[in-house]
Amino acid sequence: MPEFAANLSTQFTELPFAERFAAAAAAGFEAVEFLFPYDYPAEQLKQWLDENQLQLVLFNTAPGNVAAGEWGVSAIPGREAEARADIDRALQYALALNCPQVHIMAATVPPGADRQRYVETFISAMRYAAERFAPHGINLLIEALNPTTKPNYLYSSQYQTLEMVEQIDRPMCLPSSTCSTRS
């Protein structure tokens, strides 16, 4: 039987964020996700989850400067230190919130930029993330984004995503989880 999680970034948006947890629970959800937890202390998010008997199942690394067109920094050449700091911060939140998986956002590639440099930077960031998250049993996710919705994102198809996983060449999921691994 399918299991669903309410995305509190896109659902119950008529309510303040803090009230969306109770709304999700009242609607029968046992699990939630949201894009970014970083506007709130992990302790506050944990309280809202616990008060409503909800499990957080997914969130993303930080998006970078969204107003400037960024959607992740893990693939941006020259910003490796920032990407690692975002990965480390995501790990801290995942541990504090008992979240079993985190989406590592790549980046948009500006027109005319060397896409291969972005790929290489992202592969390095993902290898770093895999090494940091693996001891804690937290799955890493990558996601192809529709080019209509998010133009110039580093990868936009399941084929590109699979190729990326092969190039990363690190376990990103636990063997007992539902996501596939390649090594």
In one letter, which amino acid is 145?
L
Q: How confident is the model at residue 174 (pLDDT cuts 50, 70, 90)?
A: low
| pLDDT band, very low/low/confident/very high, at 2 (cuts 50, 70, 90) | confident
This prediction's pTM: 0.92
The confidence score (pLDDT) of residue 183 equals: 31
What's the confidence (pLDDT) of residue 3? 87
- Looking at this protein, which amino acid is placed at residue 49? L
Share of the chain above pLDDT 90, in %: 91
Burial class of residue 102 (count of CB atoms within 10 Å of its CB; 0-12, 13-18, 19+): buried
